[in-house]
Amino acid sequence: MAKKTKKKTKTHRAKLMHSYFHRTGFYMFIWESLKKAFWPIVIVVASLFLFNKYVYDINEGLHHFTETVSRLTVLIFFFVSETLLGLVPPEMFIAWSKKTPDPILNLAILATLSYCGGLISYFLGKTALKIASVKEYLEVKMAKNLKNTRKWGGILILVGALLPLPFSIACIAAGMIKYPFNKVVFFGLFRFVRFAIYAWAIFQVVH
């Protein structure tokens, strides 16, 4: 009897969650995000393939890059980028990792740095609230993100972690609305899944 009651409670919660997401436009947001994400991914991979085949040997270029720029410099630059609004697309660094002596290790380091950068962004968002001018600027600049984070919370962190949207922006917004940090830590773990999927696609082009 207790099991049936528990099952009914979970079913009821799931229905309420579904109704809430439908009513607030979450499903439409996800659909629009997926549509926006799909073609850029296809275009990036296809462009890399065509550029590599007809214009310039990407593998040679990346090999030269790995020989001239130190691994530490690349990782530091990537970490700063992922902490400050995701200034440079992670795909470039994923391609770089394939040409290093330890591609899987470096890919794992990149994913970890991206994840940690997002967590630091959360505290940057909280700190920004104490500086009036910064708070005002971010509230205007990130109005849509703040609104969505207030509505959907951790689910939006998950979306930011998985889709090609700046993860740090979602984390900054979470910090600004004082969303529970432990939930940001949990949902942010899906960042590793994103890196694995993108690496699988990019590693097909970079050899």
User: Residue 131: which pLDDT band, with cuts at 50, 70 and 90?
Assistant: confident
Q: Domain total for the chain?
A: 1
| Pairwise CA distance, residues 167 & 149, whole Å | 13
The model's pTM is 0.70
* Range(s) of the domain holding residue 135: 26-202
pLDDT at 71: 87
Asked, for residue 151, whether it belongs to a domain, the answer is: yes
Query: What are the tens digits of pLDDT across the range 139-190?
Result: 666 666 666 666 666 677 777 777 766 788 888 888 887 888 998 899 899 8
User: Residue 191: which pLDDT band, with cuts at 50, 70 and 90?
Assistant: very high
Asked, for residue 11, whether it belongs to a domain, the answer is: no
Within 8 A by CB and 6+ apart from 199, the residues are: 94, 97, 98, 107
pLDDT at 113: 95
- Please say if the pLDDT value at position 104 is more than 90: yes
Asked, for residue 13, whether it belongs to a domain, the answer is: no
- Taking alpha carbons only, the member of 81, 84, 106 closest to residue 95 is 106
pLDDT at 57: 62
Asked, for residue 9, whether it belongs to a domain, the answer is: no
**What are the φ and ψ backbone dihedral angles of 3, each rounded to 5 degrees?**
-65, -40
Instruction: Quote the percentage of the chain above a pLDDT of 70.
Output: 57
Asked, for residue 12, whether it belongs to a domain, the answer is: no
Helix (H, G, I), strand (E, B) or coil at 86: coil
